[in-house]
Amino acid sequence: MSALFEPITLRTLTIPNRIWLSPMCMYSAAAEGPETGVATDFHLAHLGARAAGGAGLVMVEATGVRPDARISPWDLGLWNDQQQDALARIAALIRSHGSVPAIQLAHAGRKASTAKASSGGGPLAAEDGGFPVVGASPIPFSDGYPAPAELTETQIAELVEDFASAARRALAAGFQVVEVHGAHGYLIHQFLSPLTNHRTDGYGGDFAGRSRLAREIATAVRAVWPADLPVLFRVSATDWVPEQPSWTVEESVLLAKELQAIGIDLIDVSSGGLVPDAKITVGPGYQVPFASQIREQAGVAVSTVGMISEPAQAEAVLTEGRADVVMLGRELLRDPYWPLHAAKTLGAERNWPVQYGYAVGARG
């Protein structure tokens, strides 16, 4: 049996294999009017194809817990019934293909209100649909970006409830896994790192203060999520800024231990995204060592992601005990049937969807 195709059980949920679709923003929701933040037929086709292609878990992109939480006006949201109903259709389709539907809940903080990536990104003017941004401290992301308004403690309490409310809606929509996005320079990460958190209240200062928001959101989401279903947390293991006081893999280990005690079932390990000038050493599997260190030192299940493209490479990550799950992003954009091709390569053949059997010499 290939390690990639061994099921994994988190709480009472068994996920059929360890090839999972990483959440990636598609910038394809309606940006204006009553359908703002609502998933479209594109999302249905896009995510359904990855489920049909054999991914064990299919995770919906970063989904804003409130209107001003989105990275861009074209991103998904989950604060009203219309958004919930559209996502329910997607969750049902994913399950119909034997995959597990998951969703990532997010707040972009100072990196919110930007243009589409395909349009070059960057801050979006109010006349183009932009909106005010908030953050841990009033420090802009980069030159030309607005300084975020520093969140008050009252606003923080409201934001924690926004995450809980979105998690309730995700459950009602049929998702079996929810992930809190605490990485890539978005709001929770902005609180975690001393580069972006200069607060002097109970949400700043030392590790305990800077990690308080992450713990409060994790606690609130875990409290409304069924005890038999898993909650995940994505973390950037490092800011890649070793020359300054910043978020490090050692602090990620400490956070992982605390999240596990709260009831988080798997740490989704990525890195970077906080500052635009980080010096990142990129190469095949470049983030696997971070996942491995967190797994070993925190004693928690982890996933890894980043430039994993070959079946043998992914298989080795698991057989060597460096991670429990492999998240694929760009590779599954290029080939939604990567898991089925990988199964054949690794001698763990899986049936293709019966509708496509003529093309592959099997009818399912």
The residues carrying an active-site annotation are 186
Tokens of 21: 């679709």
* Max Cα distance, the chain (Å): 65
User: Nearest-CA neighbor of 181 among 9, 56, 64?
Assistant: 64
3-state secondary structure 289-319: HHHHHHHHHHCCCEEECCCCCCHHHHHHHHH
Angle among Cα 94, 99, 103 to the nearest 5 degrees reads 65
Q: Distances in Å between the alpha carbon of 231 and those of 104, 130, 264, 267?
A: 10, 31, 5, 9
Strands (DSSP E) contained in the chain are: 8-10, 13-15, 19-21, 57-64, 100-106, 134-135, 149-150, 177-182, 231-236, 266-270, 302-304, 325-328
- Angstrom distance (rounded) from CA 262 to CA 264: 6
